[in-house]
Structure 1
């Protein structure tokens, strides 16, 4: 876990609203979650459906401490969809799935508290 993810870290530097708008965070439904044994750190390979415009995208997520493949399928999560794809071992990760650290610093994925249409943008 990065030091800036720690709950005791100060707020990041001030940015303009236009900077925030550059980060495209969308909601999608996990349609597949598989083990990713080739990853350096324990991870799952996620396929997330962001609706008809963005479609399905893949993500490598280091979430194995708090999530299982079974509990993720069908769940809505949030992800940054406009970063360039990143090679993670043999897989191309196309989106950054978002979460918060638990008390031990392990990732807890975030999503809406009630169902919303896939592809909706965070505002």
Structure 2
């Protein structure tokens, strides 16, 4: 068994403090080319989304299908899922900002700045 780990997809403009998710989200990757379903873990990190396929079975060489081809196909699928999750996160944050859901947080931060309760890092 092998493991595929995809580098993080950055979530631009999302402060690390807003990341609350601790446990990876399991997702299913259906690969019609190899007629297999794989479970991947996708989790939110302070800088973006991170994906991992922990148990990739060994693939015997037959009919031109190699393990490398499988790994590349799974990595591509996982990368697309990570990009979609990142885009959905960005869209949700934008909608929340437009709806005023973060106004109280903004006001609290401005109050802390004016009161001198914040220091530069």
TM-score tier, shorter chain, comes to under 0.3
Structure 1 or 2: more helix by fraction: 2
Greater Rg by CA: 2
- Taking structure 1 as the reference length, what is the TM-score of the superposition? 0.23
